[in-house]
Structure 1
């Protein structure tokens, strides 16, 4: 399988993370690249660097106001007296229609949903090339590949059109789907990260031209909490084009595969001719977030079921955090993904 990655994605090296009121090391470490690339190579992947498609395909998803913020905020933040090394919000508006502040601190609160998306000097460069990596996957599919793996890091599925969150800055899966749509394809996004793809849902919630399906731990007691419930079906023209399949904590391989049938059936009824798989490996039984109990062989079974749809697939990396099993989980998934 062809794989895409750009070395500039190493530049994002977040330090800050807060969980249950405690300051902890950030789980979205650059070392994930090393482990994931080794796992992909063990599955026979051949890595290539993506071309630079420019800002246009990114701006098709994210507002110019937000992109201006991401590309300039660290420099502006650093000018403040006593500023931290990373941009971390300490205030948030009570509504998205609130006035837009001029201050760096105010804009951080407006554009960063939580404290899990600190912005440092290399964040914009890494996020930009993570998005280009997803677009490199689009190139491969349009050139005739049946499956391609895009090692996107930082991940993207918690990023809305103008809002970062949950380790994510640019929504790589959404950018890829929009590029496929503009190329005349009919894309569906299947998000199998243990966390709901709330940013992806938000981007397409009022649209009917991209189907969004997310399988995840029930957000009633799990991040992102406020999105991902089964009654969120889309709105306006998008009503019925968003499917959430929340599952209990501790979901096993067999239970997951049974729910996956519903996800794949919805994609079939949408008439998709290409699928963007937002691949989270954080559902594994030994992942630090402890959401599901998926085994390493279970990822191969999940991949096989998706591949049996027979649709060209861009596999976009989302979560999956450092553990002894992370690389093997990716190897299992990519080895199991045998497109028709």
Structure 2
């Protein structure tokens, strides 16, 4: 399996994240990628290449123009206002406020386009987000060209990003880009399987009214876990998309037994949907020692999960998402890939 990865990800490294009422080093940090790369090489998966330039037309087709303009220019506007630190949202359009009017001032703009305040931006965030998208696009092109599978080692991740909001460490929704690319390349139906601990709210939001893209997410119950306000089991799609969203919220302490049962159900629904290509949002923060999650999967479980996903037999792109037990993230992510290849 070929891996697509860009060194440009290093340009996004905020020094602060608001967590538990204090500023800490972000859980989503460059060293996560180093552990994945090291494990890939250790397991002989050494076909690792850099992507080309991002397909900006595809990114513009997915994202709102004003949102992309914000991402590209936020740092310059922030500095022009004399802001000394990194970009962190401090104001939000709460209930009964006029959420449809983006402010002129950058401090207001940040809150308008952010869906959470844990995600800081720096001068290199835009370039890193584009490089992450380029990795996903290159992986999809590789599979569309005839390869069975590919791994996009995306950083920053993408599944929390909507077409017009960022948060949860995500800026551009890489999995959504891949799904749309498969559709443009002729796949009649595409499935996205999100196994990250946190609900893929951005992906769901983008495709909620679409009948041609099936989205399934296994995640911590929103009453207990970020992003809190989406991912309930009764969210199944609207309009043409009714029945093409499947959410599997699970309680604190969930182990591999009930988690794998949910995975099997999602796989069965993807098969019944008639998907011709598969995108896997590969988060491994369901791991038992993840610092910001509460599932209890162990490393061998990720190998078995990969095998189960592989039984679908579909052209597949894996997009890296979360996983914050830094020293285990490489083992767990590569276990999924190896399990898939075993199948």
- Asked if residue 325 in structure 1 is aligned to residue 343 in structure 2, the reply is no
User: Which residue in 1 is equivalent to 2:211?
Assistant: 208
Unaligned runs of 5+ in 1: none
Task: Assess if the C-alpha contact under 8 Å between 1:233 and 1:243 holds in 2.
Answer: yes
Q: How many residues align?
A: 339
User: Which residue in 1 is equivalent to 2:263?
Assistant: 260
- Asked if residue 18 in structure 1 is aligned to residue 18 in structure 2, the reply is yes
Aligned pairs (5 A) from 1:89-108: 89-94=89-94, 97-108=99-110
Aligned pairs (5 A) from 1:29-68: 29-45=29-45, 46-68=47-69
Aligned-CA RMSD value: 1.4
SS at match of 2:138: helix
Aligned pairs (5 A) from 1:129-278: 129-185=131-187, 186-278=189-281
Match of 2:282 among 279, 300, 303: 279
SS at match of 2:218: strand
Task: Assess if the C-alpha contact under 8 Å between 1:285 and 1:294 holds in 2.
Answer: yes
User: What do residues 103-140 of structure 1 show as CA deviations (whole Å, max 9, x unaligned)?
Assistant: 11111111011112211000000000100100011111
SS at match of 1:314: strand
Aligned pairs (5 A) from 1:100-119: 100-119=102-121
Inter-partner Cα distance in structure 2 for 1:278 and 1:303: 12
Q: What is the CA distance between 1:86 and its match in structure 2?
A: 1.2
- Asked if residue 337 in structure 1 is aligned to residue 340 in structure 2, the reply is yes
Inter-partner Cα distance in structure 1 for 2:327 and 2:8: 25
Inter-partner Cα distance in structure 2 for 1:39 and 1:249: 29
Task: Assess if the C-alpha contact under 8 Å between 1:6 and 1:133 holds in 2.
Answer: yes
Q: What is the CA distance between 1:49 and its match in structure 2?
A: 1.1
Inter-partner Cα distance in structure 2 for 1:54 and 1:263: 31
Inter-partner Cα distance in structure 1 for 2:304 and 2:84: 45
Change (3 A) 1:68 1:250: same
User: What do residues 178-207 of structure 1 show as CA deviations (whole Å, max 9, x unaligned)?
Assistant: 111111112110000000000000011111
Inter-partner Cα distance in structure 1 for 2:247 and 2:204: 9
User: What do residues 23-47 of structure 1 show as CA deviations (whole Å, max 9, x unaligned)?
Assistant: 2221111111111111222333210
SS at match of 1:243: strand
Inter-partner Cα distance in structure 2 for 1:308 and 1:239: 26
Inter-partner Cα distance in structure 2 for 1:228 and 1:41: 35
Change (3 A) 1:339 1:177: farther
SS at match of 1:18: strand
User: What do residues 126-185 of structure 1 show as CA deviations (whole Å, max 9, x unaligned)?
Assistant: 000100100011111111111111000000000010000110000000011111111111
Task: Assess if the C-alpha contact under 8 Å between 1:43 and 1:332 holds in 2.
Answer: no
Inter-partner Cα distance in structure 1 for 2:32 and 2:68: 25
TM-score where L is the length of structure 2: 0.96
Unaligned runs of 5+ in 2: none
Task: Assess if the C-alpha contact under 8 Å between 2:54 and 2:131 holds in 1.
Answer: no
Change (3 A) 1:293 1:64: same
User: What do residues 304-324 of structure 1 show as CA deviations (whole Å, max 9, x unaligned)?
Assistant: 000011111101000011433
Task: Assess if the C-alpha contact under 8 Å between 2:5 and 2:152 holds in 1.
Answer: yes
TM-score where L is the length of structure 1: 0.96
